Structure 1
Amino acid sequence: MRLPYVPDPPQTATEDEAKILASVQARRAPKPLLPLDLALLHSFPIADGWNSFIGAIRTRTGLSTVVRELAICRVAVVNGALFEWEQHAPLLQEGGLSEAALQVVGNARTDFSDVVAEEVLTREQRAVLKYTDAMTKTVTVPDEVFQELKGCFNEKEVVEITATVAAYNCVSRFLVALDVGEKNH
C-alpha cells in the first residue's frame, strides 16, 4: 500500500466515528476488516459513504450472484485490479460459474463473441460482460451492446447492472492507485 493502513482496530475520536467503524465491521462480519477497509478508514466520512453504497450494490439489488460477480470480476480484469479479482472470483465460482467460464472471464483480451465464450457462457452472461467491457474501457456503450443487455434483463436489472459496473470501476481505481493489498506494484 502506498500509504500505511490504519491500525486494526482503528482508533476513533468521536461517537460518529465509532458508529461508522461499527457499521463497517458489521458489514464484514464474521470476517475481519479487509485491507481496503483499513485504507478507507483514513477518512471516516469516505468509509461511511463507501460502506453504504457498496453494501447496497453487494447485498440489496435483485441481481443473481453470478450476474453481479461477473460484472465485478470483469471490471477487475479490465482495470488490472488483482485484489478485487481475488476477492470476487471465488464468489463467482460459488455462484455456479464453471472453471472454463472463469478462465474466459479472466482473459482481458476476450470479446465474448467467439465460439469458446458461446460454449461456456450463457447469452445473458455474455451480454453483461460486453456491457461491462464497454462501460469500463470507453464509458460510452454502443447501441447494439445496450440493446443486447436490454434484451436479456428488465429495466430495474439494467440499472442495477449499470450501477454495479460503475461502482466497481470506482473500487478498482482506488485499489490500483493506492496499491491496496500490495497486488499492483
Structure 2
Amino acid sequence: MKPNPSATATPAFPEAGLPERLGPPDPLDAAQQAAADALINGPRGGIYGPFRPLLHRPPLLQAIARVGETLRFEGRLDTALREWTICVVAREASNVFEWDMHLPLAEAAGVPPAALAAVERGAPTPADLRSDLALARLVVRELLTGHRLSEETYGRSLSAWGEPETVELLTLVGYFAMVCWLMNVARTPGPQSRGG
C-alpha cells in the first residue's frame, strides 16, 4: 500500500489485490441464473462489480441494477460531470473497482487528467477546474463526511444544476457510495479481473 502524500489524503485502495471473499454463489439457483442472464444480455454485458455479491439476492440485484442503468444511461447530467462524480465517490470510498472502471470514462468525457490525479492523491481540487466539477467534489465530500449539504453548498447546487439535476447528482453519489461499500466488504476485484 502506498503511503499517503498528506494527512488529509484519501487512503489507498486497501482491498486491491486481496482475494475476493463474497463472490457469486456457486452453483446458481434458478432465480440467480435468471438475474445473471439478464445482466449478461443487458447493457452491462456481464456479471462484474457489485453484481457479483448481489447475485446472492436476485431481487436486490435487479432493483439496484435498474437504478444504476437509470443513472448511467438515462440520466440528465453532463457525461463529464457524471463520470467525475463517480470517480470522486470511488476515491473517497477507497474503491478500486469503480475507480478503475470510471477513470477512463471520465478521461474520455473530457475531465482534465490533472484533476483526476489530484483526486487520486487526495490533493486539493485544481483552481482551474470547471466550476460544476469542483462543486460536485464538494458535494461528495460533504455528503460522505457530514451526511448532508451546507446551506451554501445546497444553494450553489441549485444555481448550478436546478432541482432535477441536483436530485440526480445526490442519488448518483448515494448509489455509488452504496455499491463501493458493498464491493469493499466483498473485496470485489477490479475491472481488469472481470469475469463471470
Counterpart for residue 14 of structure 2 = none
Query: In structure 2, how many angstroms separate the alpha carbons of the residues matched to 1:151 and 1:35?
Result: 34
The alpha-carbon deviation at position 34 of structure 1 amounts to 1.4
Question: Structure 1 35/140 Cα, relative in aligned 2: closer, same or farther at 3 Å?
Answer: closer
Question: Structure 1 20/133 Cα, relative in aligned 2: closer, same or farther at 3 Å?
Answer: same
Question: Structure 1 179/153 Cα, relative in aligned 2: closer, same or farther at 3 Å?
Answer: same
Query: How large is the RMSD of aligned CA atoms in angstroms?
Result: 2.0
Match of 2:150 among 142, 150, 157: 142
The alpha-carbon deviation at position 162 of structure 1 amounts to 0.7
**Counterpart code for 1:135:** L
The alpha-carbon deviation at position 104 of structure 1 amounts to 2.0
The alpha-carbon deviation at position 20 of structure 1 amounts to 2.9
Matched length: 171
Query: In structure 1, how many angstroms separate the alpha carbons of the residues matched to 2:179 and 2:189?
Result: 13
Counterpart for residue 136 of structure 2 = 128
The alpha-carbon deviation at position 57 of structure 1 amounts to 1.3
Query: In structure 1, how many angstroms separate the alpha carbons of the residues matched to 2:50 and 2:176?
Result: 13
Counterpart for residue 92 of structure 1 = 106
Question: Structure 1 182/22 Cα, relative in aligned 2: closer, same or farther at 3 Å?
Answer: closer
Match of 1:63 among 61, 77, 81: 77
The alpha-carbon deviation at position 19 of structure 1 amounts to 4.3
Query: In structure 1, how many angstroms separate the alpha carbons of the residues matched to 2:35 and 2:166?
Result: 31
Counterpart for residue 24 of structure 1 = 39
Question: Structure 1 35/135 Cα, relative in aligned 2: closer, same or farther at 3 Å?
Answer: closer
The alpha-carbon deviation at position 35 of structure 1 amounts to 4.4
> Which consecutive unaligned segments of at least 5 residues does structure 1 have?
none
Superposed counterparts of 1:153-172, under 5 Å: 153-172=161-180
Larger relative contact order (C-alpha < 8 A, sep ≥ 6)? 2
The answer as to whether partners of 1:78 and 1:137 remain within 8 angstroms in 2 is: no
Match of 2:182 among 147, 160, 174: 174
Deviations 1:23-53 (Å, cap 9, x if unpaired)?
2221212xx3214322211221121111111
Question: Structure 1 6/18 Cα, relative in aligned 2: closer, same or farther at 3 Å?
Answer: closer
Query: In structure 1, how many angstroms separate the alpha carbons of the residues matched to 2:87 and 2:115?
Result: 12
Query: In structure 2, how many angstroms separate the alpha carbons of the residues matched to 1:35 and 1:153?
Result: 29
% same residue: 22
The answer as to whether partners of 1:5 and 1:39 remain within 8 angstroms in 2 is: yes
Correspondence 1:11 to 2:28:
yes
Query: In structure 2, how many angstroms separate the alpha carbons of the residues matched to 1:125 and 1:5?
Result: 35
Counterpart for residue 51 of structure 2 = 37
TM-score, normalised to structure 1, is 0.83
The answer as to whether partners of 1:77 and 1:107 remain within 8 angstroms in 2 is: no
TM-score, normalised to structure 2, is 0.79
